[in-house]
Structure 1
Amino acid sequence: MIRPLTLADRDAAVTVINTAARWYRDFLPPEEVHDPEMTPAQWEAEARRLTWYGAFVGAATLVGVMALEYVRDVALLRHAYVLPEHQHARIGSRLQAHLEGAVRGVRRIIVGTYAGNYKARSALEKAGYRLSADPEAVLRAYYSIPEDRLRTSVTYEKPL
């Protein structure tokens, strides 16, 4: 089941994010790994400008999260995380398809990810996303992220 998340889901969502983000240690330099990846306060701040969605196993076990944010003329898919033990079960793909289906009023979806995140990059390409011609320009135009993350990130785009 996929549904929008509420404040009541915050702690479970933060657990999913921080657990799934541990794999960043495999490809990010140590100084760029943030632990935790997201705090409850950061999750709440993000929730003020985007909509969080969650994938549940059964009615109560949150196993994946993803967020949808509108910025000017595009929709951004953000914060895609799936618990390691539920990866390869199409949880991320189902969340992505659900959010893509919820997008209204724009003609393009953008997803940012780390350049070294080969899992996400492969999944995005399989889903029809293409690497942006100028990822740095896209990141500067549509995202507010720290410089260290900007330097190590790329963007993918998909027209609607």
Structure 2
Amino acid sequence: MNQTEIRRVTGDEEFAACRAIREAVFVREQNVPLELEYDEHDATALHLLALAGGAPAATLRVMLKDGGATAKIGRVAVIREARGTGLGAALMRAVEAEPSLGGVRQFVLEAQTHALRFYEKLGYVAEGEEFPDAGIPHRFMRKARPGPLSPG
């Protein structure tokens, strides 16, 4: 079984690997225009990169909202060869456990509708109506972070 490593992106080389994954998945596979794939949030977002067997295989980004109470996860992408291996779920668990997001009370995302079951299995709940983003149907999803257990 391939060894998996998930890390915070800290340098240009790692960010370039994230871009390559996003371009493969969103631009080439899903025909998202390149100018829609990248935005001003890429420069300030926290990016995670998952390696499978030492090779870049999945990525996501997260931005803090509501004064740090909400983490918005986006640009979740897993290369075709790594889909169905559990790597995407491991990446989502890693972002939920990321120490720098300790003050976050909830995670939100805008899921492509074909991926709803994937996120539902991770505890996310769809809200609102379906909407298009880059011509692809999406739904808003939310997952509350459990609060500390009260004594007694």
TM-score range, shorter chain: 0.7 to 0.9
Q: Does 1:158 align with 2:143?
A: yes
Deviation at 1:78, TM superposition (A): 1.1
- Report the equivalent of 1:139: none
SS at match of 2:133: helix
Distance, in Å, in 1 between the alignment partners of 2:36 and 2:79 is 14
Distance, in Å, in 2 between the alignment partners of 1:83 and 1:46 is 22
Verify the 8 A CA contact 1:17 1:37 in the aligned structure 2: no
Q: Which has the higher strand share?
A: 2
Q: Which has the higher helix share?
A: 1
- Report the equivalent of 1:28: none
Distance, in Å, in 2 between the alignment partners of 1:83 and 1:150 is 19
- Report the equivalent of 1:106: 104
* TM-score normalised per structure 2: 0.76
Q: Does 1:77 align with 2:73?
A: yes
Aligned alpha-carbon RMSD (Å): 2.5
Distance, in Å, in 1 between the alignment partners of 2:35 and 2:83 is 20
State the identity %: 17
- Report the equivalent of 1:19: 24
Distance, in Å, in 2 between the alignment partners of 1:9 and 1:87 is 20
SS at match of 2:30: helix
Q: Say how many residue pairs are matched.
A: 134
* TM-score normalised per structure 1: 0.72
- Report the equivalent of 2:59: 65
Could you list the runs of 5+ residues in structure 1 that have no partner in the other structure?
A: 26-32, 137-146
Distance, in Å, in 2 between the alignment partners of 1:84 and 1:34 is 19
> What stretches of structure 1 move > 6 A for 4+ residues in a row?
none
| Amino acid of the structure 2 residue aligned with 1:49 | T
Could you list the runs of 5+ residues in structure 2 that have no partner in the other structure?
A: 146-152
Verify the 8 A CA contact 1:131 1:157 in the aligned structure 2: yes
Deviation at 1:20, TM superposition (A): 1.4
Counterpart mapping for 1:1-160 below 5 A? 1-5=5-9, 6-21=11-26, 22-24=28-30, 33-35=32-34, 38=37, 42=38, 45-59=40-54, 61-72=55-66, 73-102=69-98, 103-115=101-113, 118=114, 120-132=115-127, 134=128, 149=133, 152-160=137-145
Deviation at 1:157, TM superposition (A): 0.6
Q: Which deviations, in whole Å up to 9, do the C-alpha atoms of 1:46-97 show, x marking residues without a partner?
A: 34321000001234x1110011211113111111001101111111100000
